[in-house]
Amino acid sequence: MAVEKNGFLHGKVGGVVSYPLNGVLVTRGIGINNNPPTLRQLGVQQRTRVVNDFLKRVSEFTSVGFELKAKKTNKRTYALAFGYNWGFGLKGAYPDIQIDFEHVRLAEGQLPIVADFGLAVEEQGLRYNWNPDATIQGAHWSDQVMMLAYFPALQKAFYCTAGASRINGTDLLPIHYEHNDLVAETYLAFISNDRKRISNSVYTGQITW
């Protein structure tokens, strides 16, 4: 599909595609490649598929986590999350490329994170604990915690983007699923009370629910 912009069509119409390049509108035909994909191409395709499959499960969290950077760069939050995790959040080689949960990033910013944190299972959810010391330069006692637990077996995430204040040192992430020895990959971040600053997300480990 093509759209009109500045008096020109941009996009695909029939067998041609139009797009701006260095300030000039370029139109080219779309050919059919009958050659089998190379291993490199197959690897790129699998990396893209794996990242997309994961991000669509956590997109509401990353839309908050990358929102501030998106405003500065005029890029979509999904594109920023995809770009980082495509480059740094995967492990393995084709045909066994997987999410590298320890290196996934779900939020990005300059707000300080906590130095010490812990995680425990309770009847109603996961208990996040952290050092409530808000004297870290750039931190504030009112910063709110953001928590996420992703269950690969369920392909489902439980999360909170506006939790307890940093000074509380603890918060409960409710898990609305019965205990069943399921592995969860967990993350934590902080966002300022006025929503103008956010921290990088940090991997808080793997836990069995």
Q: Are residues 10 and 53 in the same domain?
A: no
Q: Are residues 59 and 87 in the same domain?
A: yes
Q: Are residues 81 and 5 in the same domain?
A: no
Q: Are residues 55 and 17 in the same domain?
A: no
Reported as a single tens digit per residue, the pLDDT across 30-70 is 666 678 889 999 999 999 999 999 999 999 999 999 999 99
Question: What percent of the chain has a predicted confidence (pLDDT) above 70?
Answer: 84
Number of domains within the chain: 2
Please provide the DSSP assignment of 93-136 as one string.
Answer: -TT--EE-GGG--S---SS---S-EEEEE-SSEEEEEE-----S
Residue 192: count of CB within 10 angstroms of its CB: 19
Q: Are residues 119 and 66 in the same domain?
A: yes
pLDDT band at 2 (very low <50, low <70, confident <90, very high): very low
Q: What is the pLDDT of residue 136?
A: 87
Reported as a single tens digit per residue, the pLDDT across 160-187 is 999 999 999 999 999 999 999 999 999 9
pTM of the model: 0.83
Q: Domain range for residue 9?
A: 1-32
Q: Are residues 3 and 46 in the same domain?
A: no
For residues 58 and 66, the answer to whether their CB atoms sit within 8 Å is no
Reported as a single tens digit per residue, the pLDDT across 5-37 is 544 445 655 555 655 655 555 556 566 667 888
